[in-house]
Amino acid sequence: MKLFSLFGGAQSAKKTSKYLISLDIGTEVMKGLLFSMSNLGVDIWATNQVTQQTHAMRSGVILNSDTVLENARLCVQKLVSKLEPQEVPTKMVLGMAGELVNGISIRVSYDRGRDAGRKISESEANTVVENVISDILTKGRDELAKRLDTTEDNVEVLQITVTGMFADGVKIESMIGSSPEEVVLHLYASFAPKTYINTLRELSDELGLEIASIVTQPFAVSRSFAGSWDSQFSGIFIDIGGGTTDVALVQNGDTIQTQMYAFGGRAFTKKIAQSMDVSYTVAEGRKIKYATGELPQDLRDEVRRLIAPDVQLWLDALVVAMEEFENVEEFPPQFFLCGGGAMLPDLKEAILSYPWHKHLPFKRLPKVMLVTPDKLDKVYDKSGLLIHPYDVTPTSLAKFYWDVLRLPNLNYLGTY
């Protein structure tokens, strides 16, 4: 089990740079950050984006590894261009999205038996968490393999994170010092086919960077939003990328489930390109200007009309994804949107106008908030460039890694 001491990482005699890279290998755009960590949080020093060629990715999956590698090189080189050689990072945090990635919530009850009434020591607390994670890794692979429709030996566990703890039914931040009869742990586990993880390993080897963590992106986003850990917080996070839309459900400060489906902003660009008989590049530019209100009124009206059927398809897919969430008695009436696709006003309007209560357990009309990096917790933008919804995901990857190192005994990271 790869556990870490506070900001020390895996202990090594070799001195490493204080800087790290976070890399969101998006279908449409690859986004990277140069960041460092302190006891206060995450400092962002530089950002960069590289537009992916249409043949490079599909629905979050790498199709052409050579092209993606070259894009990654360009992205990383720009990020580190102002650093001295000894400052160049040796580690990176990778984000994963798309239908190849799965995430499940797990609830485990621990009955203390004769020890009830005695305060839980740090040693007991660590042993409980380690045993639970060990059981998931050894006994849970069959269930994970079924969800991926593959074999047990092709399952790679990316992360297991304790998202909530309850002592005799009361939510607690730490079980140490409490003396309950029963402790209930809520965990989130993400996993993917080993064959795809091997592709990411090859990418990191070519870049000369060690993989510090591979993170499920919707989970990272939901955990990084300021206040999302609070027991009074509930919400639905939707990260709309170029080829995928990722959904995370948070209830009472606990990220309990995630769903991902292959429908993102690229579909709208293709519709504009085909219907207006323009190149993909021109269509992408028109889509962006439409989202920012910079198109002339006649073109704006035409784009709105053209993409309307695809907006409805995207919304239908979102409803289907949310129907896959298990054992939800009531959905929270707050959506949080991020990612490049979230800038399309039509998607927000579609969510607000949909009769949710007729199809899913909503008791109130939902509200929609567009999430920007300044809404994330303990993130300090030293670059001055983190302003867009598409910056949220790579920033959340960095913040997740900070959380892992801050609370090492509540996290498992796969060995990459």
Instruction: Please state, as a whole number, how many other Cβ atoms lie within 10 Å of the Cβ of residue 60.
Output: 25
The helix or strand, by DSSP H or E, that contains position 116, with its residue range, turns out to be none
**CATH number reported for the structural domain that contains residue 287 in this entry:** 3.30.420.40
pLDDT at 12: 39
Residues 263, 130 share a domain? no
- CA gap 216, 147 in Å, rounded: 16
Residues 166, 180 share a domain? yes
Residues 368, 325 share a domain? yes
Report the candidate in 380, 415, 338, 353 with the shortest Cα–Cα distance to residue 157: 415
Query: Is 8 part of a structural domain of the chain?
Result: no
Residues 149, 207 share a domain? no
Residues 339, 265 share a domain? yes
Give the count of alpha carbons within 13 A of 373, CB side only. 26
Model confidence over 136-166: pLDDT tens digits?
888 888 888 887 788 888 888 888 999 889 9
Alpha carbon distances (Å) from 143 to 41, 128, 264, 354, 363? 36, 22, 29, 34, 33
CA 295, chain centre distance (Å): 32
**CATH number reported for the structural domain that contains residue 150 in this entry:** 3.30.1490
Instruction: Please state, as a whole number, how many other Cβ atoms lie within 10 Å of the Cβ of residue 1.
Output: 12
Spell out the residues 6+ positions from residue 278 whose beta carbon is closer than 8 angstroms to its own: 272, 286
Residue type, 179: S
CA dihedral for 347, 352, 358, 359, sign (positive or negative) = positive
Query: Is 350 part of a structural domain of the chain?
Result: yes
Query: Is 5 part of a structural domain of the chain?
Result: no
Query: Is 3 part of a structural domain of the chain?
Result: no
Residues 181, 211 share a domain? no
- CA gap 309, 304 in Å, rounded: 10
Give the DSSP per-residue string, 157-195: EEEEEEEEEEETTEEES--TT---SEEEEEEEEEEEEHH
Residue type, 407: L
Residues 91, 117 share a domain? no
Query: Is 164 part of a structural domain of the chain?
Result: yes
Residues 214, 70 share a domain? yes
One digit per residue, the tens of pLDDT, for the chain of length 416 reads: 333 332 333 333 346 799 999 999 988 899 999 999 999 999 999 999 999 998 898 877 889 999 999 999 999 999 999 999 999 999 999 998 777 778 888 899 999 988 888 999 999 999 999 999 998 888 888 888 887 788 888 888 888 999 889 999 998 888 999 999 999 999 998 888 888 899 999 999 999 999 999 988 999 999 999 999 888 999 999 999 998 999 999 998 988 888 888 899 999 999 999 999 999 999 999 999 999 999 999 999 999 999 999 999 999 999 999 999 988 999 999 999 999 999 999 999 999 999 999 999 999 999 999 999 999 999 999 999 999 999 999 999 999 999 988 888 888 888 77
- CA gap 304, 369 in Å, rounded: 21
pLDDT at 403: 92
Query: Is 4 part of a structural domain of the chain?
Result: no
pLDDT at 8: 35
pLDDT at 4: 32
- CA gap 126, 128 in Å, rounded: 5
Phi-psi region of 312 (alpha: psi -120 to 50; beta: other; left: phi over 0): alpha
Alpha carbon distances (Å) from 281 to 201, 269, 270, 404? 31, 9, 10, 39
Residues 186, 166 share a domain? yes
Residues 129, 74 share a domain? no
Answer whether 25's CB lies under 8 Å from 33's CB. no
Residues 241, 211 share a domain? no
Please indicate, yes or no, whether the overall pTM of this predicted structure exceeds 0.85: yes
Query: Is 334 part of a structural domain of the chain?
Result: yes
Residues 138, 87 share a domain? no
Query: Is 148 part of a structural domain of the chain?
Result: yes
pLDDT at 42: 98
**Domain span at 384:** 20-99+195-224+374-413
- How many structural domains compose the chain? 3
Residue ranges in 208-264 assigned as alpha helix (H) = 217-224
Q: What is the DSSP letter of 115?
A: G
Answer whether 86's CB lies under 8 Å from 73's CB. no
Identify each DSSP E strand in 230-330 by its residue range: 235-240, 245-251, 254-261
CA 234, chain centre distance (Å): 17
